[in-house]
Amino acid sequence: MKITWLGHSAFRLETAKSTILIDPFFTGNPSFEGNDRKDAVKGVTHILLTHGHGDHIGDTAEIAKETGAVVLANYDLGMWLTHHQGVERLEMGNTGGTIALDGFSATFVNAFHSSAHITSDGVSHSLGSANGLMLHFEDEPSLLHMGDTDIFSDMALINELHRPEIGIVPIGDRFTMGGAVAALACRRFFSFAKVLPCHYGTFPILDQTADAFLEGMEEDARNVAVPKSGESITV
């Protein structure tokens, strides 16, 4: 599996059968600048969304129309994408549910966060739950994208049920857990073989580096990959 960080919480996963974008926030994302959008969306088969905030929905509708990719989202967000964004190919579920896709399955797991769209006139549209996404592949490592979340004790249950080998973890503070708490979540509740931090450095109000996370991971820091935006790792 080839994993490319595209800034903020956006990732591209290339597997034997699928090419997946998670939370493809490109337009307006200063940490995506300098990346080649054509390369980022080339061959995309699936777009997976953790929740309905704009910095996670991002360019979903445009990419889906360009590529014909299937979009996976919670039910409320999926219906909003259909009726307000014109997305046609959708797989919808909700917390606890699992959806089988081409060569992998996606399970909506808990995340402690909010999920809404605020219009320019201040009207709020609820877009369902915030989730993490647990991905199981036929012949490749299992992966948990935590979405936006704080630490919570039932992370231990997610690990018991799914045994994720790769973790994508928000560390930027302010809107998610910060680096020290994110490290505690990883070390206490999971046994990741590889961890990638995200949701930091994008905007000035977020932590700008992964330093606190690396320090908090202690001896497990050897399992952490901190690519620059646009860089890839293979696992």
pLDDT score, position 209: 98
The model's pTM: 0.98
pLDDT tens for 113-160 read 999 988 888 888 899 999 999 999 999 999 999 999 999 999 999 999
CA 5, CA 22: separation in Å to the nearest integer? 10
Report which residue type is found at 184. Answer: L
Q: What is the DSSP string of the chain?
A: -EEEE-STT-EEEE-SS-EEEES---TT-TTTTTS-HHHHHTT--EEE-S-SSHHHHTTHHHHHHHH-PEEEEEHHHHHHHHHHH---SEEEE-TT-EEE-SSEEEEEEE--S--EEE-TTS-EEE----EEEEEEESSS--EEE--S----TTHHHHHHHH--SEEEEE-BSSSS-BHHHHHHHHHHH---SEEEEES-SSSTTS--SSHHHHHHHGGGGGGB--PPTT-EEE-
pLDDT score, position 23: 98
pLDDT tens for 67-92 read 999 999 999 999 999 999 999 999 99
Domain ranges for the chain: 2-234
State both tokens at 225. Answer: 């990959």
- Do residues 186 and 178 make contact, with C-beta atoms less than 8 angstroms apart? no
Residue 202, CA distances (Å) to 143, 180, 199, 215 in order:
23, 18, 7, 20
Determine the longest span between alpha carbons in the chain, in angstroms: 49
* Residue entry with tokens 């995340």: 111
Whether residue 44 is predicted with pLDDT greater than 90 in this model: the reply is yes
CATH number of 2-234: 3.60.15.10
pLDDT score, position 203: 98
